[in-house]
Structure 1
């Protein structure tokens, strides 16, 4: 299965906003995660499948730059892209754009490692080659 690009659309909810009707900054990180979970599912490696195969992937670093505000009711498009993968560390780049105006609202990255359920680092190339190869082929 090939995937050229993937985007996930989200409508800003009332509970995600502050008193001014502006989405609270913490929600952008949640949107990164939601788009990442959906992206992995679309490429055939859902978090459930990974965990069933003894793979956990904690976040080891995250960053987010805010360019313009998202308000209650706005539709945004979150696009995750694999920027780096060396078999040990995975870095995903995210862009959040306004669905109507295409204005960039935010961008950032999350970095992940891969551990077994015992908490020890995994060698994906050796132990989970299909997943390793899939990630490697999706690096942009």
Structure 2
């Protein structure tokens, strides 16, 4: 039997370093294509999971937003694939809310292995009234408070 290398432990969920929320992911076979390379859409799923957990860490759950009739759809996504992650890798999905505006929430992402930058991305969300299917002109106060805790300052007007 072949000796296997030790597995490095993933960092704790929600650890924040230099303003970046860290979401650890271990790459499983269902994240990859037939060659064991992470399928491009898996990165987008991981980014959403990291964003949801980041908001949860400051008291905002998507369940509560939906119950309040608010949705946060993606209206813009820009992604750059630098190097692939592979089956068995431990990756960190790092996310940071950058320059929040009155109507738009701009999230930056880095997805890394221990040694490599795999993906960088920017995602923009808007708040939508689920009943009227219209963009909200102001964010719910609970969301504004959570955003202030994330970025440490006020939302800039559009």
Question: Where do 4+ consecutive residues of structure 1 move more than 3 Å?
Answer: none
Deviation at residue 29 of structure 1 after TM alignment: 0.7
Name whichever of 75-84 and 4-13 sits farther off.
4-13
Deviation at residue 97 of structure 1 after TM alignment: 0.9
Deviation at residue 132 of structure 1 after TM alignment: 1.5
CA distance in 1, matches of 2:63, 2:117: 31
- Check conservation: 1:91, 1:110, Cα contact below 8 A: yes
- Check conservation: 1:58, 1:114, Cα contact below 8 A: yes
Of the three residues 116, 119, 131, the one matched with 2:143 is 131
CA distance in 1, matches of 2:65, 2:21: 20
CA distance in 2, matches of 1:36, 1:54: 19
Of the three residues 16, 39, 43, the one matched with 2:54 is 39
Matched, 1:104 2:151: no
Q: Which has the higher contact order (CA 8 A, sep 6+)?
A: 1
TM-score under structure 2 normalisation? Answer: 0.78
Question: Structure 2: where are the runs of 5+ without partners?
Answer: 1-15, 153-158
Question: Structure 1: where are the runs of 5+ without partners?
Answer: none
Aligned to 2:135: 121
